[in-house]
Chain A
Amino acid sequence: QAQLVQSGAEVKKPGASVKVSCQASGYTFTNFDIDWVRQAPGQGLEWMGRVHRFNGVTTYTHDLQDRVTMTTDPSTSTAYMELRSLRSDDTAVYYCVRDYYDKRGYYYDSWGQGTLVTVSS
Chain B
Amino acid sequence: SSELTQDPAVSVALGQTVRITCQGDSLRDYNASWYRQKPGQAPVAVIYGRNYRPSGIPDRFSGSTSGDTASLTITGTQAEDEADYYCYSRDSTTNHVRFGGGTKLTVL
Contacts and interface: CB of A to CB of B under 8 A. Distances in A.
Contact of A105 (B37, B52, B94): B52
Contacts of A108: 33, 35, 43, 45, 88
A50 B91 CA distance: 13
Contacts of B97: 35, 47, 50
A46 interface: yes
Given A105-B52, A109-B54, A112-B42, 14 more contacts: A37-B99, A44-B86, A45-B99, A47-B97, A50-B97, A61-B96, A105-B31, A105-B33, A105-B48, A105-B49, A107-B48, A107-B49, A108-B33, A108-B88
14 contacts: A45-B35, A45-B86, A45-B99, A47-B96, A47-B99, A59-B94, A95-B42, A104-B48, A106-B33, A107-B88, A108-B33, A108-B45, A109-B54, A113-B42
Interface of B: 31, 33, 35, 37, 42-45, 48-50, 52, 54, 86, 88, 90, 94-102
